[in-house]
Amino acid sequence: MARRAVVTGGVGSIGTAICVALKASAHDVVALDHPSAAPRVEAWSQEHGIAVRLADLANYDATRAVFAEIGDVDVLVNAAGITRDARFVKMTPAHWREVLAANLDSAFNCTHAVFDGMCARNFGRVVNISSVNGQKGQFGQANYAASKAGMHGLTMSLAQEGARSNVTVNTVSPGYIATPMTAAIKPEALEKICAQIPVGRMGKPEEIARVVAFLCADDSAYITGANVPVNGGLFISA
């Protein structure tokens, strides 16, 4: 029987690549996304042959309700996220709350809905999609960097709680990836960004998905609490 995988932010660029990779590795995949993605859902679902559910994952009760409809979950990938960039002195409380809610609260809400069941069934894979900026910080992204750093704190703690139950929890931290979000950056700014990346280019969503699929495999059971950077050498740490 195929293991059921849920990918939050599943209709986005990186989320789509993750959904496709998990489907290719014989998972029963459900893409979970925000209601604002509704106009794209039908065409996306038909193109990829993957079911989609919509919910405001920053809302705890709405998240519990949609996971109750989905049923038992073996693999959870928390890839949902937004940005509200501004210099800290100009960052509003709303900017801060929106990003923390969409990025970090959603990871808590979704994982809270499935973690106990994973432990009870003695199998689970949770992968949190963080960011290189959660590791090194970034000018104008205090909210985003804080939320992404918080995701790995969640990873390290839950890895210890789930280890004896064969539930692994890991983080993948992408660098600059070619998505519609980065495509909106001015060409001269993109050129400067790529010049700072040792491999000389932005990453592809499929390169993130490959790492996620590896971590979600049954035989990746001895990897937990890790933060796997996929950033082309932009940030390297011991």
Angstrom CA distances, 236 to 151, 192, 193, 225, stand at 19, 19, 16, 18
Which residues have a catalytic role annotated?
A: 144
What are 75's two structure tokens?
């693999």
Angstrom CA distances, 192 to 108, 138, 188, 207, stand at 35, 15, 6, 22
In three-state secondary structure terms, 171 is strand
CA distance 141 to 4: 34
